[in-house]
Amino acid sequence: MISKEDFKKLVLQGIPDVLPSPAAYEKNINHAPIRKQILSVEEKKLAIKNALRYFPVKFHSELAPEFKYELETYGRIYMYRFRPQYEITARDITWFPHKSIQAAAIMLMVSNNLDYAVAQHPHELITYGGNGAVFQNWAQYLITMKYLAEMTDEQTLVMYSGHPMGLYPSHKDAPRVVVTNGMVIPNYSKPDDWEKFNALGVSQYGQMTAGSYMYIGPQGIVHGTTITVLNAGRKVSKNNEGIEGKLFITSGLGGMSGAQPKAANIAGVVSITAEINPKAANKRYEQGWVDEIVSDVDKAIDSALEWQKKKQAHSIAYLGNIVDLWEKMAERKIKVDMGSDQTSLHNPWAGGYYPVGLSYEESNEMMAKNPAQFKELVHKSLCRQIAAINTLTANGMYFFDYGNAFLLESSRAGADVMAANGIDFKYPSYVQDIMGPMCFDYGFGPFRWVCTSSKPEDLETTDNIAMNVLEEIAKTAPEEISQQMRDNIKWIREAKANKLVVGSQARILYADAEGRIKIAKAFNDAIKSGKISQPVVLGRDHHDVSGTDSPFRETSNIYDGSKFTADMAIQNVIGDSFRGATWISIHNGGGVGWGEVINGGFGMVLDGSAESERRLKMMLLWDVNNGISRRSWARNEGAVFAIKRAMMAYPEMRVTVPEIADDKLIENLF
C-alpha cells in the first residue's frame, strides 16, 4: 500500500516528468463499449493534436501513434498509460494534499467517482450509465488533482467538460469549482454530435452525479427506487390489501437499474429483473442485491409465482433478454401487477439496449461494425417489447416509464405507444405519477452527505442526528407530507442495517427544504463540537425538485407548456453559486440522454464554522424552493401548498402564485 507522503507527492506531480510505460489493456476490468468510428481522417488528426496539448513536446513523437491507436481501437483517446498506479478511492481527507480544505473534500469526491468498487468503467473514467464521465482522459484527472491540491480559498477552478481550464482569482464565498459538462449550441445536440465532440476530446457526457463528483454508489438510487416501487405498489393495492406478494417485472441490473431487486425486496414485493449481461447479473447476486439468477424463462416465472403464493418478498434475475420475458409473460397470461424497464435507452445505439434475437456478444460486435443494421434491430425489438407490454396492461398491469427514455425511443421506433391524442404516451413516467406529485412538488428530493473522515462511526453519528431531526419535524408536519416523513424516518432508521455503503461513507435521505436545512445545521453543530471528526460534504442527485429540466422525466409532471424550457435548472445553479455552494455543475444530458435534459447540482462543505451555517441556510432554502416555485406556477397543487407554507416560514421570500382559471370559462371560448 502506498504511504501518505508518496501519495501526496504523486498527486502534486500532475503530469509526470518521465513518461510512464505503456499500459496493458486489462481484460478483467469492466470496460466501456468500443465507440463507433465517427471522425474523418482530418478530424482524427485534430483529435490527436488536441490530446497532445496536455504534454511537453518532447513526449509527442512517442505518444502520437499510441493516441492514434487508442482512437482507432476504442473510438476515444483515454491516455491509458497515465492512469495512476495508486488506488483511487475516497481516502480520509487528511491524505489529500491541500491548501483549501474545501478543495481537499472535492478531491475525495472525485476519487470516489473513479474508485474501482464504485465506477462502472474505471479505466475509461466512466462512473455510471455507460457514458457518464468524470473526465475524458487521464491527463485531465492528473492536472485537476494537482490544481485542487495547490489552490487556495481565494481561487476558483474552472472545468470545461472534464478539461481543467485553470485556476482564477475569486473569493472565500465563491464556489471553489465551477463545472460545465456537455454544454453545446442547441442545434448541435444530437447523439452523433456527442460522439464526435467526445472523440475530438472537446466535450463529455457528465450524466448527473458522474461529472459533478457527487455519485455515492448504488444506495443513492436504492432509496429513490424504493420510494417508487413502494408507491407504485400502493397505487395498485386495492382496499388496503397491502403490497406483499405483488409482482413487479422490469429489466436492467446495471449501475442504477441494479437497485431494482434490492428496492423491491425492501418494499416487500416479488420481482423478476431481466439482464442480458452475465457480469452485471453476477455482480448484483454476489452483492446480495438479487436473491437468485435463473436463465430459463419459464423457471424464472414459476419461481416468482411460488413466492407470490407465500406472499414473501423475493427477487429473481432472469439472465436473458427482457423481450423474451415479456413475451412469455403475455403468452402464459400471467397477472403482472407492476411493470417497468431500466435498460439504458438514453444511449440506445452504443450498448444501452440489447435487441432480442442477438446474443450479448453479437450485439456488441454489430453496434461497432454495422451500426445501421444494429439500429434497425433495436427498433424491431422495442416494437415487440411494447406489443407484449400492451397485452399485459390490457390485463390490468400498471406500467410506468423509468426515466430511461424507454417510451420516447419506443415511439421513435414506431411502436404502438402513443395515447389517443397522438401527443402523450399511453403510459405515465414514474415522475408524472409518483415522484412528481408525491415528492418533488412538496420539495422532497435526494439529499445526501459524505463524511470526509471516511469513518463508519461518523456516518452512524450523522444517521442518528438526521433521524432525530426528522422525528422532531414529523411531530408537527401537516397531513399532506406525513406519509413521506414516515417512509423517510423508516429508511434512515434501517439504513445502517441495510449495508448500503459502497465507496465513501455516504448517506442518502429524501428530505424537503425544512428537513435538509435542519439536518445540515445539526451536522455543522456536531462538527463544531467535535462529535463528528471531520467536515461533511452535502449534496444531492441532480434528479431533484429544482436541479433538472427534463421533459420526459423530472419535469414530466409540468403541464403548463413550459416543460421544454430550461430556465429552472440554469437559475438554480446560478442561484446556488452566489449563495454559498462549494462547487456547482450544469450539464447537458443525464438520465434520458444528450440533448434531452439540462441538469445541475452542487456540493457544499460543512466545517463547523459560522460561515458554513450562513451558507447552508441561504443556499438550501433556494435550492429547494426554486423548483417548488416553478412547479407551483405550473399549477401543481402540492407545490402551491408547499410554497405558501414556505412563504409563511420565510416572510422575506415572496413568490408569484398562480390564480386558477375556471376550465369552463376557457372551454366556452371555443
Ligand X SMILES: NC(=O)c1ccc[n+]([C@@H]2O[C@H](COP(=O)([O-])OP(=O)(O)OC[C@H]3O[C@@H](n4cnc5c(N)ncnc54)[C@H](O)[C@@H]3O)[C@@H](O)[C@H]2O)c1
Question: Shortest distance, CB of residue 341 to ligand X, whole angstroms?
Answer: 8
In terms of CB distance, is 345 or 522 closer to ligand X?
345
User: What one-character-per-residue DSSP string does 396-442 give?
Assistant: T-EE-B-SSSHHHHHHHTT-S-B-TTSSSBSS-BHIIIIIIIIIGGG
Which 8-state DSSP code applies to residue 139?
H
In terms of CB distance, is 255 or 503 closer to ligand X?
255
Encode 269-301: b = buried (16+ Cβ within 10 Å), e = exposed: bbbbbbbbbeebbbbbbeeebbbebbeebeebb
| Residue pair 102/605 in contact by the 8 Å Cβ criterion | yes
Alpha-carbon torsion, ordered 357, 359, 361, 363, to 10 deg? 20
Q: Could you tell me which of 148, 142, 175 has the C-alpha nearest to residue 16? A: 142
Question: Shortest distance, CB of residue 651 to ligand X, whole angstroms?
Answer: 36
Question: Shortest distance, CB of residue 224 to ligand X, whole angstroms?
Answer: 5
In terms of CB distance, is 132 or 245 closer to ligand X?
132
In terms of CB distance, is 181 or 321 closer to ligand X?
321
Q: Give contact residues for ligand X (rule: CB under 6 A).
A: 120, 128-130, 221, 224-225, 251-257, 259, 274-277, 280, 321-322, 342-346, 352-354, 402-404, 591
Question: Shortest distance, CB of residue 555 to ligand X, whole angstroms?
Answer: 13
| 549, three cell numbers | 429540466
Tell me which amino acid residue 131 is: N
Question: Shortest distance, CB of residue 113 to ligand X, whole angstroms?
Answer: 14
Distance separating alpha carbons of residues 243 and 596, to the nearest angstrom: 34
Question: Shortest distance, CB of residue 181 to ligand X, whole angstroms?
Answer: 15
Question: Shortest distance, CB of residue 281 to ligand X, whole angstroms?
Answer: 8
Distance separating alpha carbons of residues 276 and 353, to the nearest angstrom: 10
In terms of CB distance, is 224 or 503 closer to ligand X?
224
Question: Shortest distance, CB of residue 357 to ligand X, whole angstroms?
Answer: 10
Q: Identify the residue whose cell numbers are 402464459.
A: 332
Distance separating alpha carbons of residues 31 and 527, to the nearest angstrom: 40
In terms of CB distance, is 200 or 232 closer to ligand X?
232
Distance separating alpha carbons of residues 258 and 284, to the nearest angstrom: 7
In terms of CB distance, is 277 or 632 closer to ligand X?
277
Q: Identify the residue whose cell numbers are 408536519.
A: 477
Q: Which residue is nearest to ligand X (CB)?
A: 254
Q: Phi, psi at residue 273, to the nearest 5°?
A: -120, 120
In terms of CB distance, is 345 or 604 closer to ligand X?
345
In terms of CB distance, is 233 or 254 closer to ligand X?
254
Distance separating alpha carbons of residues 202 and 392, to the nearest angstrom: 45
In terms of CB distance, is 124 or 514 closer to ligand X?
124
Q: Phi, psi at residue 217, to the nearest 5°?
A: 80, -175
Question: Shortest distance, CB of residue 289 to ligand X, whole angstroms?
Answer: 12
Kindly give the pairing relationship between strand 126-128 and strand 598-606: unpaired
Question: Shortest distance, CB of residue 99 to ligand X, whole angstroms?
Answer: 36
Question: Shortest distance, CB of residue 241 to ligand X, whole angstroms?
Answer: 26
In terms of CB distance, is 404 or 488 closer to ligand X?
404
| Residue pair 284/253 in contact by the 8 Å Cβ criterion | yes
| Residue pair 482/473 in contact by the 8 Å Cβ criterion | no
Question: Shortest distance, CB of residue 342 to ligand X, whole angstroms?
Answer: 4
In terms of CB distance, is 365 or 471 closer to ligand X?
365
Give one word for 501, left, alpha or beta, with left for phi > 0 and alpha for psi -120 to 50: beta
Distance separating alpha carbons of residues 47 and 60, to the nearest angstrom: 14
Kindly give the pairing relationship between strand 548-549 and strand 598-606: antiparallel
In terms of CB distance, is 441 or 544 closer to ligand X?
544
In terms of CB distance, is 381 or 629 closer to ligand X?
381
Question: Shortest distance, CB of residue 259 to ligand X, whole angstroms?
Answer: 6
Distance separating alpha carbons of residues 607 and 525, to the nearest angstrom: 9
User: What one-character-per-residue DSSP string does 593-650 give?
Assistant: -TTS-EEEEEEEEE-SSHHHHHHHHHHHHHHHHHHHHHHHHTT-HHHHHHHHHHHHH-
Cβ atoms < 10 Å from Cβ of 58 = 8
What stretch of H or E contains 31?
A: none
Question: Shortest distance, CB of residue 616 to ligand X, whole angstroms?
Answer: 26
